[in-house]
A and B are shown apart, each in its own frame.
Chain A
Amino acid sequence: MPTDNGSERVEVRKAYKLYIGGAFPRSESGRSYPVSDARGRFLANAALASRKDARDAVAAAYKAWPGWSARTGYNRDQILYRIAEMLEGRRDQFAAEVAAAEGLSRARAAAQVSAAIDRWVWYAGWADKLAQVLGAGNQVSGPFFNFSVPEPAGVVAAVAPRSSSLLGLVSVVAPVIVAGNACVVLAAEDRPLPAVSLAEVLATSDLPGGVVNILTGAVAEVAPWLASHFDVHGLDLAGVEDPALAADLERAAAGNLKRVLLPEREPDWTADPGLTRMRAFLEIKTVWHPVGI
């Protein structure tokens, strides 16, 4: 855009930082790494998260989880829907970022953004329906009232898929939090910018700070700390492409018997997600009480 003296306007660039406990800190390590677009042109410097950042993120998630899981389904439903509303309002920005990150045409990038928005809406509606679909009234052979309900496992650490920097990320985070879990997600290593922008959407959607924490950095460096952390209850390896690293992370997760969701071979993030990703991080609780007078 021409300015008064006829030259191009110098644009205001954004600093891409982490998202921990509802705030946007830089890495405590002071490190960053350059992020390029699909053709190798410099886009921005992203924060290179450290072990301590990962631990801070887990601490924030652990703190946020009880309050979030105590919200009503209706309330979580509305907050996830609010995320979709906020995302809708910033379609153009996300389409540009996804296009740059993944080397897509503007139209195909926009389709990814639309699918991501619709995914939030789809998962939002599950918040008050999971107990009916996944729970049960159990007809036991005796004078007892007996029912089963799904409950969140707790804190889930996820590695977001590289192949789909926004839709894939949303498809991993939404099923974790809709049921009341808190989440620490490691963004796609070389395509982290849509994730950081998504954090800005989350921060303005009435989602309590700490429910979703987003880290950017090296998967091989940060993921092992999340996989071995004893305050993490579930691990989603969606974005771990190296089978040896995935096996190492799964082995580390056995330390406190985390629930682990293994990466799919060729995931189609546009397909109907089904219940699998929600069910993976839910516990079934069964309550008995005698019937009598």
Chain B
Amino acid sequence: MAVFEYAPAPESRAVVDIASHYGLFIGGEFVESEDGKPFKSVNPATEEVLAEVTGAGPRDVDRAVRAARAAYEKVWGPMSGADRAKYLYRIARIVQERSRELAVLESLDNGKPIRESRDVDLPLVAAWFFSYAGWADKLGYAGFGPDPRPLGVAAQVIPWNFPLLMLAWKIATALACGNTVVLKPAETTPLTALAFADICRQAELPAGVVNIVTGAGGTGQALVSHGGVDKVAFTGSTEVGRQIAGSLAGTGRRLTLELGGKAANVVFEDAPLDQAVEGIVNGIFFNQGQVCCAGSRLLVQESVYDEVLGRLKRRMATLRVGDPLDKNTDVGAINSPAQLARIRELSEVGEAEGAERWSAPCAMPERGYWFPPTLFTGVTQAHRIAREEIFGPVLSVLTFRTPAEAVDKANNTPYGLSAGVWTEKGSRILWMAQRLRAGVVWANTFNKFDPASPFGGYKESGYGREGGRHGLEAYLAH
């Protein structure tokens, strides 16, 4: 069959203006560090240095927390919910107006395809601010008492896989509830958070309500352990989440954690297979599989195993891997050399433990950090690739015979963030949804997000929810 080649269709990067150096955003202005060290943010698709960014030291973090405290006590805490709402609506509008620029910047700094940053990340960022803006003057109706109070200063540490979207989840909710924030973006993806600082200035958000401190793990540790914060919110690995939970013991500070996952995507024999295959691909190759709720364990009913696997491989062979700014690209770059090394290591372990590896035949760029869409067959529940979060475009395929076996295998993990079910039988969907121990169950769909929909995990995937009315609880005293 003749296949038409795609011509390159690159998005222009002329819409973004990256400074050569960024300070810290504290008290409404960019300031230089007192005790930190600069570091560089790199485009993972080209290894080009994008900017020099400031690694905040403990004194910088302290300054930021004090700025947030002052803003909380003098301005943001006493402000009416209706006025807070108007600031958040302003931010939502500016995000919409600057969404092209922010999408390109996100793809440059993170490596994700422009198709995703443009069509998923940025629309959700704007929607999150817009939706939570509307909560700011309606908190008394949210089910947490007639007059729920904010907590104070929130320390927020977010990951690199959805840099601006995770910022929106954290900041929109905290601000709507009347808290002020100090947010630390991930070391490898600080640029959209710094652009967001500029949006706060354009919105004339009162100084100190949002503070952005960039840096690596040490900066995050200084922030979450700072005695002046009332609330800690962390999204990232279960290992770090565990450490934070342990380090906050005895402080009485509120904590929410959105951590790792090893989601099962369960395909029954009566599933609509074309849609299921699209859902499997979206589940594990969306954002290069660097998604905490990725459908990284495919559970296929034995009777359709050969058919599903054949269709899946055919579909994977058509995935276009390469330049994130090309509008035809399906799979972009891995975010960092460290993450690429982890994906490679676990894939090698998968082979060493006896699973069979198959990668989509695709050309990959010479420079940058790349990993082809890959699946493993012959995987057992004991294999590390079926137990550990790989956080990359690697799918482990297992089989089952009965619904009960599917449930047992799906739940056989310390994680419990998400799960998928594919079947045309409605009663079976609900039967499965009741039994899957996961905070989000996608039935005949996968990887859908919305500001009105609570998101968060069971068990070692963390605690607390983000999104919807339930997301408010994390930022209110009640």
Interface residues of A (CB under 8 A from B): 133-134, 136, 138-142, 144, 146, 148, 153, 233, 243-244, 246-248, 250-251, 253-257, 259, 262, 276, 279, 283-290
Asked if B32 is at the interface (CB within 8 A of a chain A CB), the reply is no
Query: Hey, which chain B residues are within 8 Å of A259, CB to CB?
Result: 463
Nearest 5 Cβ contacts at the A-B interface? A247-B250, A254-B245, A250-B249, A140-B450, A251-B249
Flag if A287 contacts B441 (CB, 8 Å): yes
Residues of chain B in range 390-443 having any CB-CB distance to chain A below 8 Å:
414, 429, 433, 438-443
B285 located at the interface, meaning its Cβ lies under 8 Å from any Cβ of chain A in the complex:
no
Chain B residues, CB < 8 A from A253: 245, 249
Question: Are A142 and B448 in contact, CB atoms less than 8 angstroms apart?
Answer: yes
Considering only CB atoms, which chain A residue lies closest to B275 in the complex? Answer: A290
Nearest-Cβ distance from residue A62 to partner chain B, whole angstroms: 13
Of residues 234 to 258 in B, which have CB atoms within 8 Å of A's CB atoms? Answer: 238, 241-243, 245-246, 249-250, 252, 257
Q: Give B77 Cβ to nearest chain A Cβ, in Å.
A: 23
Residues of B within 8 A of A (CB): 127, 143, 238, 241-243, 245-246, 249-250, 252, 257, 259, 414, 429, 433, 438-445, 448, 450, 452-456, 458-460, 462-463, 465, 468-470, 473, 478
Cβ of B459 and Cβ of A148 under 8 Å apart? Answer: no
Collect the chain B residues with CB atoms within 8 Å of residue A255's CB: 242
Residue of A nearest to B244 (CB): A254
- Chain A to chain B contacts (Cβ below 8 Å), 25 pairs: A134-B143, A136-B454, A138-B452, A138-B454, A139-B452, A140-B452, A141-B450, A142-B450, A148-B468, A153-B458, A247-B249, A256-B459, A257-B462, A276-B478, A279-B473, A283-B458, A284-B454, A285-B433, A285-B458, A286-B441, A286-B454, A287-B441, A288-B443, A289-B443, A290-B444
Q: A250-B250, A254-B246, A256-B459 are in contact. Are A144 and B439 (CB under 8 A)?
A: no
Shortest beta-carbon distance, B382 to chain A, in Å?
Answer: 18
- Separation of A283 and B469 alpha carbons in the complex (Å): 14
Nearest A residue to B426, CB-CB: A289
Taking CB atoms, residues of chain A closer than 8 Å to B238 are 257
- What is the bound-complex CA distance between A155 and B454, given in angstroms? 23
Q: CB distance B250 to A290 under 8 Å?
A: no
Of the candidates B249, B259, B468, the one having the most CB atoms from chain A within 10 angstroms of its own CB is: B249
Contact partners of A138 in chain B: CB under 8 A: 450, 452-454, 468
Bound form: Cα–Cα A128–B31 in Å: 55
Q: Please name all residues of chain B whose beta carbon is closer than 8 Å to the beta carbon of A233 when the two chains form the complex.
A: 459
Residues of B within 8 A of A276 (CB): 478
Given A141-B450, A288-B441, answer yes or no on A256-B414 (Cβ-Cβ < 8 Å).
yes
Docked Cα-Cα span, A132 to B51, in Å, equals: 50
Q: A251-B249, A285-B439, A288-B445 are in contact. Are A148 and B458 (CB under 8 A)?
A: no
Shortest B113–chain A CB gap in Å is: 21
CB proximity of B296 to chain A, nearest CB, Å: 18
Chain B proximity of A153: nearest CB distance (Å): 8
Chain B residues with CB below 8 A from A262, complex form = 252
Closest to A66 in B: B435
Inter-chain CA distance A262–B97, complex, in Å, is 45
Q: Write the chain B residue with the least CB distance to A133.
A: B143
Q: Is B445 within 8 A of A257, CB to CB?
A: no
Interface pair B443/A287, CB less than 8 Å apart:
yes
Closest to A247 in B: B250
Complex Cα–Cα for A279 and B143 (A): 12
Which residues does chain A contribute within 8 Å of B252, judged by CB atoms?
262
A136 and B468 contact, CB distance less than 8 A: yes
B280: min CB distance to chain A, Å:
16
Whether A141 and B445, one on each chain, are in contact in the complex, defined by CB atoms closer than 8 angstroms, is: no
Cα-based distance from A247 to B455 in the complex (angstroms): 29
With contacts A251-B249, A257-B245 taken as known, whether A288 is within 8 angstroms of B452 at the C-beta atoms is no
B469-A136 in contact (CB<8A)? yes
Residues of B within 8 A of A153 (CB): 458
Q: Select from chain A the residue with minimum beta-carbon distance to B429.
A: A289
Distance in Å from the Cβ of A235 to the closest Cβ of chain B?
Answer: 11
Q: From A146, which residue of chain B is reached at the shortest CB distance?
A: B453
List chain B residues, Cβ under 8 A from A141.
127, 450, 452
Determine how close the nearest CB of chain A comes to the CB of B139; give it in whole angstroms.
16
In whole angstroms, how far apart are the Cα atoms of A250 and B463 in the complex? 14
Q: How far is the CB of A112 from chain B (nearest CB, A)?
A: 27
User: A146 near B469 (CB under 8 angstroms)?
Assistant: no
Q: How far is the CA of A139 from the CA of B469 in the complex (A)?
A: 11
Nearest-neighbour CB distance to chain B for A69, whole angstroms, equals 10
In the bound complex, what is the Cα–Cα distance between A142 and B448 (angstroms)?
Answer: 10
> Are the C-beta atoms of A289 and B445 separated by less than 8 Å?
yes
A148 touches B143 (CB 8 A): no
Q: How far is the CA of A267 from the CA of B470 in the complex (A)?
A: 26
Q: Give the distance in Å from the alpha carbon of A289 to the alpha carbon of B440 in the complex.
A: 11
Considering the chains assembled together, what is the distance between the CA atoms of A286 and B469 in angstroms?
Answer: 12
Q: Judging by beta carbons under 8 Å apart, are A284 and B456 in contact?
A: yes
Asked if A290 and B450 make an inter-chain contact with CB atoms under 8 angstroms apart, the answer reads no
B387 to chain A, nearest CB (A): 15
Given contacts A247-B249, A257-B257, A289-B429, contact A284 B470 (CB under 8 A): yes
A280: nearest chain-B partner, CB-CB? B463
Residues in A neighbouring B473, C-beta threshold 8 A: 279
Q: Give B152 Cβ to nearest chain A Cβ, in Å.
A: 17
Tell me if B444 and A289 are in contact (CB < 8 A). Answer: yes
Pick the contact of A144 from B241, B243, B445, B458 — CB < 8 Å?
Answer: B445
Q: How far is the CB of B84 from chain A (nearest CB, A)?
A: 22
Q: Is the CB of A243 within 8 A of B459?
A: no
Of residues B241, B445, B455, which shows the largest number of chain A Cβ atoms within 10 Å of its Cβ? B445
In the complex, what's the smallest C-beta–C-beta distance from B135 to chain A, in angstroms?
13
Residues of chain B lying within 8 A (CB to CB) of residue A246: 250
Residues of chain A lying within 8 A (CB to CB) of residue B453: 138, 140, 146, 148, 286, 288
A146 proximity list for chain B (CB < 8 A) = 450, 452-453
Are A283 and B439 touching (Cβ within 8 A)?
Answer: yes
> Smallest distance from the beta carbon of A230 to chain B beta carbons, Å?
8
Complex interface: chain A residues within 8 A of B414 (CB)? 256
- Are B143 and A257 in touch, CB under 8 angstroms? no
Report B252 CB to chain A, min CB distance, Å.
6
- In the bound complex, residues from chain A placing their C-beta under 8 Å from that of B443 are 287-289
A136 to B257, CA, bound (A): 22
How far apart sit A247 and B452, CA to CA, in the bound complex (Å)?
Answer: 35
Contacts of A251 in B (CB 8 A): 246, 249-250
Using A140-B453, A148-B454 as known contacts, say yes or no to A284 and B465 having CB atoms under 8 A apart. Answer: yes
- CB distance A256 to B429 under 8 Å? no
Report the separation of the CA atoms of residues A256 and B459 in the bound assembly, to the nearest whole angstrom: 7
Q: Hey, which chain B residues are within 8 Å of A133, CB to CB?
A: 143
Instruction: State the CA gap A136–B469 with chains docked (Å).
Output: 8
Find the B residue at minimum CB distance from A292.
B444
In the assembled complex, the Cα of A251 lies from the Cα of B465 at a distance in Å of 22
Query: Given A146-B450, A247-B249: A285 and B438 within 8 A (CB)?
Result: yes
